[in-house]
Chains A and B, each alone.
Chain A
């Protein structure tokens, strides 16, 4: 069955009457500011009306000594609306189940349509519904998950305003919640990454301990080789964790020593070339003259090691890896380009997260701790440099680190 919509009669919407809200709001603000205003008001009355009236008004309106009351800089009541609209927390005033006022933040959170009408259309969360329905005020603010967006966290408080209205405040706590979750994840990930090689080592020790394998030299050598590899992986991870925490610890102290990046690049490339059993000639350098930057030599070396190492791991075998240094828009630009499978766009924002892997299985086979890019990001941040990763699937990836040059005043 189908119904045709009938045109409605054009009547004033019952929902749009906000005068009540303004009245309550103004009352709440005015009540707070009343004693502030009492003194100048009284003073003007002295001139206009007379001393007798003044004594009465001063006695009635203000218990404070008049001399201590500062004159208001702005005329607050006229600006109440703007002031409250500008508050970052979402504020709602609810009168008899209906939202009668919502500030900008609240309208952004719920959408303009939903804050006109019953509060339950906007605030669906059971905890919120129970709190507002009851006649209690919140003591401590209550935590609420998933208002507006499923992954956001809020704290809510309900306060009673005179005249039976309720003031609901919602403060966004998503950031601190995410930080806390990242900390927990980091500990869990780090211990997991440490435990995996340890389990392998323990397993082989047990096997070697049983005796028969020890007699066969070939098998023993193989086992010891695996154990060595796993132990090195653990060592690498511990080293990375230590350098990560060290870089983080002095992230506020910008390096002071002027450093030419060209020679450092050549040195690191040389070390990597000699360390590669095959394909050492894959690294191509294109170093142009560039001014010195303030940098920590060891950390720049680490940054280069990690980025060139990644390019070697994820570039296609026998394809060139280009390391370029030049000047762009008055800044020193370092670019490392590989020709590999590339990274799809959805992974790009998360690449510098600790232990984030685009493809867990593959990363495991090529080695690596999952901390390389996190370290690069922190080093770049400490040098006030910008890190930019561009990638095309099927073509390759370019990592660009742009350093600020040393300004002339700071040199002298």
Chain B
């Protein structure tokens, strides 16, 4: 923890802002884990709870925005404070998106009642596990202002992308084999895409945490092959 400001209220405002982000992140993290669990267990009830819970994440984002505007207007933050406030604003937006992806996954569960035994379904949980761990670790990095941990999170994104690419191929094969599988496969593909996007967003947050902590941009990560291209 850095040394405090002359105006203690400023420290309190910053602490409040960080706490809001942390809570938002915690909710998004739980929503993602819950959505994937509900997907595996076909648990429509908890899926509905996750969809409902997304509203709270949206409210928190609005609250973060209000706080940031107030903080900039009243305290005119400088240097690392300004970086932190801006990072908080951007992270809130990204975390809200992650919550939306979780909600999107949860919404598809009711449409996926006839996919029992599909191999792709078995690949989703490990893929989701990496993505949730990324979210979890990046939130820890944010709370502890740990630039190194943020770099470690960004490095894992490649694994999620690889999962997505292999799933894309598998699902494409399913669809070609049997047109009856197309609806279910498409939903699974969207779910996989959502998880992949969650991983990307976790990486974005990692970059913001890195910037807020060090004042430097994280070195550009090497891009893998274009995941949109699929089977060429």
Contacts and interface: CB of A to CB of B under 8 A. Distances in A.
To the question of whether A and B form a pair in one complex, the answer is yes
A2 B83 CA distance: 9
Contacts of A9: 3, 5-6
A97 B23 CA distance: 12
A2 B79 CA distance: 9
A111 B26 CA distance: 17
Interface residues of B, number: 37
Given A3-B79, A14-B12, A117-B15, A150 B136 contact: yes
A13 B26 contact: no
B215 interface: yes
B1 A126 contact: no
A11 interface: yes
B79 A5 contact: yes
A362 B157 CA distance: 32
B219 interface: no
Contacts of B1: 13, 15, 113, 116-117
A120 interface: yes
23 contacts: A2-B216, A3-B78, A3-B83, A4-B215, A5-B79, A6-B79, A8-B3, A9-B3, A11-B5, A97-B19, A111-B144, A114-B144, A117-B1, A117-B15, A117-B19, A118-B19, A121-B19, A124-B29, A126-B27, A129-B23, A129-B26, A145-B33, A150-B132
Interface in B7-33: 8, 11-12, 15-16, 18-20, 22-23, 25-27, 29-30, 33
B144 A113 contact: yes
Contacts, number: 95
Given A9-B6, A15-B1, A126-B30, A120 B20 contact: yes
A12 interface: yes
A5 B215 contact: yes
Q: How would you classify the secondary structure of chain A's contact residues: helix, strand, loop or mixed?
A: loop
A232 interface: no
A133 B187 CA distance: 37
B27 A14 contact: no
Given A14-B11, A14-B12, A117-B15, A124 B25 contact: yes
Given A120-B19, A121-B18, A126-B30, 20 more contacts: A3-B215, A5-B80, A8-B5, A9-B3, A10-B3, A11-B5, A13-B11, A14-B12, A15-B4, A111-B144, A114-B143, A114-B144, A116-B1, A118-B19, A119-B19, A121-B19, A124-B25, A124-B26, A125-B30, A129-B27
Residue among B19, B136, B144, B215 facing the most chain A CB atoms (10 A cut-off) = B19
A118 B16 contact: yes
